[in-house]
Amino acid sequence: MSDPLELLRPDLRGYAGYRSARSEARAGEIWLNANESSGANASDEDGLLRRYPEPQPGASGEALSALYGAEPSRLMIGRGSDEAIDLLVRAVGAAGRDAVLVARPSFGMYAACARLQGARLLEVDLRSDGNEFRVDLDAVRIAALDGGATLVFLASPGNPLGEPISPDEAVALANALAGRALVVIDEAYVEFAGSASVVGALGRAGNLAVLRTLSKAHALAAARVGCLLADARVIAALRRLQAPYPLPVPSARAALRCLAPASLARTRASVLATIEERERVRAALAGCAGVRRIHASRANFLLVEFADADDALSRLGAAGVVVRDLRAMPGLDTALRITIGTPAQNDRMLATLRATVAA
Ligand SMILES: *Cc1c(COP(=O)(O)O)cnc(C)c1O
Closest CA to 36 of 25, 45, 224, 27: 25
d(CA 70, CA 176): 24
Show the 3-state SS of 236-283: HHHHHHCCCCCCCHHHHHHHHHHCCHHHHHHHHHHHHHHHHHHHHHHH
Residues with CB under 6 A from ligand 1: 80-82, 107, 155, 159, 186, 188, 213, 215-216, 221, 226
Residue whose CA is at the smallest distance from ligand 1 atom 2: 188
Q: How far is the CA of 249 from the centre of ligand 1 (A)?
A: 21
Q: pLDDT tens digits, residue range 73-94?
A: 999 999 999 999 999 999 998 8
Q: pLDDT tens digits, residue range 111-155?
A: 999 999 999 999 999 999 888 999 999 999 999 999 999 999 999
**Rg of the chain (C-alpha set):** 22
Question: pLDDT value at position 216?
Answer: 98
d(CA 191, CA 212): 10
Mutational pocket test of ligand 1: of 77, 82, 89, 228, the residue with most ligand atoms within 8 Å of the beta carbon: 82
Question: What is the crossing angle of helices 261-286 and 343-358, to 10°?
Answer: 10
Question: pLDDT value at position 236?
Answer: 95
Question: pLDDT value at position 356?
Answer: 54
Per-residue pLDDT of the chain (359 residues; tens, 9 = 90+): 689 999 999 999 888 888 888 777 778 899 999 999 999 999 999 999 999 999 888 899 999 999 999 999 999 999 999 999 999 999 998 888 999 999 999 999 999 999 999 999 999 999 998 889 999 999 999 999 999 999 999 999 999 999 999 999 999 999 999 999 999 999 999 999 999 999 999 999 999 999 999 999 999 999 999 999 999 999 999 999 999 999 999 999 999 999 999 999 999 999 999 999 999 999 999 999 899 999 999 999 999 999 999 999 999 999 999 999 999 999 999 999 999 999 999 999 999 999 855 54
Question: pLDDT value at position 152?
Answer: 98
Question: pLDDT value at position 2?
Answer: 81
d(CA 199, CA 211): 9
Question: pLDDT value at position 47?
Answer: 94
